[in-house]
């Protein structure tokens, strides 16, 4: 049996630490009752959705590096300055940035052409 604390909604987009408590086996562990370890989850900075497996289970990984590499290698998530981006939000952000760049270029062309 294992339990874990839920991710704080204000931490969306970060690789989050989740404390996991598991029932320990063995005589010595039985005296102390439980052991604790920390795992990490990933959520998108754009939409807040967690990185999940094919059955929609939130993935818990052993380290920050493992979380980033797994999300990048298996689901094509990307790491940016703000945090991890799911593929859809990354594409949406890229498209918005490209549209803004094209609008700025069009405005410069109009000003430089003396049409303003």
Q: What is the pLDDT along the chain (116 residues), one digit of tens a residue?
A: 223 444 444 444 444 444 444 444 444 445 555 556 677 888 888 898 888 888 888 888 888 888 888 887 877 888 888 888 889 998 998 898 888 888 888 787 776 665 54
The pLDDT value recorded for residue 30 is: 52
The pTM is what?
0.53
What count of other Cβ atoms lies within 10 Å of the Cβ of residue 93? 16
Domain ranges, ordered by start, for the chain: 2-86
Give me 116's structure tokens.
Answer: 């303003």
The pLDDT value recorded for residue 108 is: 79
The pLDDT value recorded for residue 19 is: 44
Asked whether the beta carbons of 13 and 51 are under 8 A apart, the reply is no
Helices marked H in 1-116: 27-32, 64-75, 87-112
């Amino acid at each position: 049996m294992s339990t874990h604390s839920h991710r704080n909604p204000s931490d969306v987009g970060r690789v989050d630490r989740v404390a996991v408590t598991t029932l320990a086996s063995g005589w010595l562990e039985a005296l102390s009752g439980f052991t604790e370890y920390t795992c990490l989850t990933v959520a998108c900075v754009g939409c807040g959705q967690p990185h999940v497996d094919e059955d929609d289970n939130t993935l818990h990984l052993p380290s920050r590096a493992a979380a980033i590499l797994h999300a990048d290698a298996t689901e094509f998530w990307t790491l940016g300055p703000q945090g991890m981006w799911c593929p859809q939000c990354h594409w949406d952000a890229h498209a918005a940035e490209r549209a803004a760049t094209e609008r700025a270029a069009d405005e410069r062309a109009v000003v430089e052409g003396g049409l303003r």
